[in-house]
Amino acid sequence: MIEFRDVSYVHQNGVKALDGVSLRIGSAEIVAIVGENGAGKTTLVKHVTGLLKPATGDVVVDGQDTRKTSTAALSRKVGVAFQNPDHQLFSESVEEEMSFALKNFGFAPELVEQRVRWGLELFGLEEYRKSSPLVLSGGEKKRLTLACILAWDPEVVILDEPTVGQDSIQKEKLAGTIRMLTSSGKTVVLVSHDIEFLWPMQPRVVVMKGGKILGDGPAPELMQDKRILEAARVAQPQLVEFGECLRERPEVPFADPLEARRWVEKSSR
DSSP 53: -
Q: Which stretch binds another protein (CB under 8 A): 74-82, 166-174, 180-188, 249-257?
A: 74-82
Q: How far is the CB of 249 from another protein (least distance, A)?
A: 47
Q: Binders of another protein among 139-178, rule CB under 8 A?
A: 148-149, 152
Helix (H) or strand (E) holding 215: strand 212-218
Would you count residue 89 as binding another protein (CB under 8 A)? yes
Would you count residue 12 as binding another protein (CB under 8 A)? yes
Would you count residue 114 as binding another protein (CB under 8 A)? no
Q: Between residues 94 and 234, which has the closer beta carbon with respect to another protein?
A: 94
Residue of 49, 166, 182, 187 that binds another protein (CB under 8 A): 49
The two beta strands, 56-61 and 187-191, are unpaired
How far, in Å, are 29, 103, 135, 182, 254 from residue 185 at the CA level? Answer: 8, 25, 35, 5, 38
Helix (H) or strand (E) holding 99: helix 94-104
The two beta strands, 30-35 and 204-209, are parallel
Q: Which stretch binds another protein (CB under 8 A): 14-22, 58-66, 88-96, 201-209?
A: 88-96
Q: Between residues 73 and 246, which has the closer beta carbon with respect to another protein?
A: 73
Q: How far is the CB of 50 from another protein (least distance, A)?
A: 9
Would you count residue 245 as binding another protein (CB under 8 A)? no
Would you count residue 96 as binding another protein (CB under 8 A)? no
Q: Which stretch binds another protein (CB under 8 A): 101-109, 110-118, 219-227, 250-258?
A: 101-109
Is there a contact between 167 and 194 (Cβ–Cβ < 8 Å)? no
The phi and psi torsions of 164 (rounded to 5 degrees) equal: -60, 125
* Rounded (5°) CA angle 217-45-98: 120
Residue of 55, 72, 111, 258 that binds another protein (CB under 8 A): 72
Q: Between residues 2 and 207, which has the closer beta carbon with respect to another protein?
A: 2
Q: Between residues 154 and 211, which has the closer beta carbon with respect to another protein?
A: 154
What is the distance between the terminal CA atoms of the chain, rounded to a whole angstrom?
53
Per-position DSSP letters for 122-144, written without gaps between them = HTT-GGGTTS-GGGS-HHHHHHH
Burial of 63 by CB count in 10 Å (0-12 exposed, 13-18 middle, 19+ buried)? exposed
Q: Between residues 4 and 107, which has the closer beta carbon with respect to another protein?
A: 107
How far, in Å, are 9, 41, 58, 122 from residue 15 at the CA level? Answer: 9, 14, 19, 40
Coil vs helix vs strand at 202: coil
Q: Give how many residues touch another protein by CB under 8 A.
A: 26
Would you count residue 76 as binding another protein (CB under 8 A)? yes
Would you count residue 53 as binding another protein (CB under 8 A)? no
Binding site for another protein (CB under 8 A): 12, 46, 49, 51, 70-72, 75-76, 79-80, 82, 84, 86-90, 100-101, 104-105, 134, 148-149, 152
